[in-house]
Chains A and B, each alone.
Chain A
């Protein structure tokens, strides 16, 4: 745990859900420094406080479509150091890919119903708050589902797919090792094989790796 706790702003128009998220984050050791009910409040808070992370619901008043994403774009523009974790009702990867396009550093995209999985929520919040990347596994799977049968994706073994999915979620090699309970060497072997089969240049940082994988999936589906 870092010396000073992660400072977080939470924006969600449902106050009940918002307070639940706040408590979940506090349980994970983060410090919630502000709560907002809509995009305008969120922008003011970020402006005033400059937190490490903003957790943003995608659908907020007034139109309940993608206000959260638009507010996130503004925050990224004005305060590039603030991490952004978007909670989305949309399974469609198009919403995620627009958001993750460009520099994916300190960006996360989780499906809304993931909030009940406190572990995933906390892990994603801390990863993104510290400059990492998080992508919902379900969205990743949807991207894989769309891969054309003729694409090199079909050549991957089931284990390699699993590794690719975790890479896309934003996990480091070490985290993949933890998750799959495999040796570091084995995981590195799988990662190298995935890169070779998909024709991707090896990337060192996790967020650039996510971006490369996303770009590849977009290009081939």
Chain B
């Protein structure tokens, strides 16, 4: 089954990650080299290693984020920010081109981090205010860098490497515009924090879980470093700068990966469904819990239209502001259900894909189960029809035998007997007629036996007990019967007929195969709504319910009547045939 989003794809991110790692390695090396020969007094070789670690770490975190959340661009933003951080540290270098590049991009990574923070967890800036804030931050960062590039040669009294791009030195202009840019940076930082706070306050629980670490990281960096530095409250310190810079990517990475916790809920949901053998008590509750949206609802497509989870008819959900409609299709692509939820759930496409995949499995399972049930019902019904048709046919043949052939034979016999009585001197004819009558009487008896075997008229007319007594009279083995007096209509027709055939078949087997000395027939009401029919003998046992045997036909008949047939016949230990029949539906 194809899950459209959320499965870790391998190809592109891997190439990208290797490229990013290679770039980070080269840049880290450069930072370490530049730090070792820095013109900035405070920069020691150790700081180079620290900065390399922070930058590379951010790149690695971004790659991990990309791999675990391929649907989100937060990972790539982290990678970019880490690379920019490394490039920004080039300003320590004594080499003019490196210095110029570094100073220009000194703060650029912060703008990208702010972008990533406001875009958590998907990477999209959904709201206008967020886009405005990030736009402002990028513009302010670029403006600060541009001003410096154009108008500054070296702001430091102790001297620094030359700005290779500067057109002309204009320290006063640069200082005035630079102050504006600095205040802009403060405003940008506060705006980012404000926008983040707004998202935290207004967002749903899953978003808060993702945002909290990022907010803490940004807050740490902003309150500990950016704001006090730009307000002149603290002096610039390289170690402090680099160390606090690491807080933001750490927070973002943690936040990005925390969103993955939802997939754990998908896994638990899947386990619950599996333990319930492909069923969910309430698909709605399971989905709501998994997607973290208690307002979630589900409607099911049925042949009669749409129905809620209790089967009550309802209307097809329509899209509305702030709500998302998630279609659930079956294996054939037919729409089976629509999940309606807060559109926040769309922030977690992998979660949605996983949860709806489970919903699809549950619905497929239900559909298959109901199809199987329907087929089983068909089979049951057809078996009932077959047994009924057989009985009707037997009844018809029995009646034809009885009212047709037997009557005719008796008429012939009677006519012959009357001819015999005529006493008109044909002695040899009289003797022949007598023999013919005897033959006809034998034929009539055989037909009677045949008719009784075909259809027990006495069962219909006089009830089960009378019919069972008639069976025992004809049995070749003495039979003890223990049963109440079930007259005609005392039991449902099907039950009486089935019970009769169970006893008839069992006694016939006893007579024919068991070499028994005695048989017992017991008929008792069992648990409420059941009749227990037992036929036992003390014969040789070994009876089997195998294809083509009378017992197999009997089992078909009993099961068609929604009953149960048990045959216990160990060799040498007699036979017990038990049927449990349902007397109440």
Contacts and interface: CB of A to CB of B under 8 A. Distances in A.
A115 B414 contact: yes
Interface in B466-483: 466-467, 469-470, 472-473, 478, 480
Interface in B378-423: 399, 402-403, 406-408, 410-411, 413-415, 417-418, 421
B403 A59 contact: yes
Nearest to A23: B418
Contact of B473 (A14, A17, A95, A142): A142
Nearest to B415: A20
A21 B414 contact: yes
B437 interface: yes
Interface stretch (A86-94, A101-109, A124-132, A194-202): A86-94
A16 interface: yes
13 contacts: A16-B407, A16-B408, A20-B411, A20-B414, A24-B417, A27-B421, A59-B402, A59-B403, A64-B402, A90-B458, A95-B462, A142-B473, A146-B473
Contacts of A21: 414
Nearest to A149: B478
A112 B466 contact: no
Contacts of A162: none
Interface of B: 399, 402-403, 406-408, 410-411, 413-415, 417-418, 421, 437, 440-441, 444-445, 448, 457-458, 460-462, 466-467, 469-470, 472-473, 478, 480
Interface centre among A20, A64, A91, A221 (most CB of B within 10 A): A20
Nearest to B444: A113
Given A17-B410, A59-B402, A65-B461, A116 B437 contact: yes
Contacts of A49: none
A146 B469 CA distance: 8
A89 B447 CA distance: 11
Contact of A118 (B399, B411, B417): B417
Contacts of A13: 403
Contacts of A89: 402, 406, 448
A77 interface: no
A31 interface: no
A160 interface: no
Contacts of B460: 65
Interface in A5-64: 13-14, 16-17, 20-21, 23-24, 27, 59, 64
A64 B414 contact: no
A94 B464 CA distance: 12
A188 interface: no
Nearest to A142: B473
Contacts of A17: 407, 410-411, 414
A116 B461 contact: no
Nearest to A115: B414
A144 B381 CA distance: 44
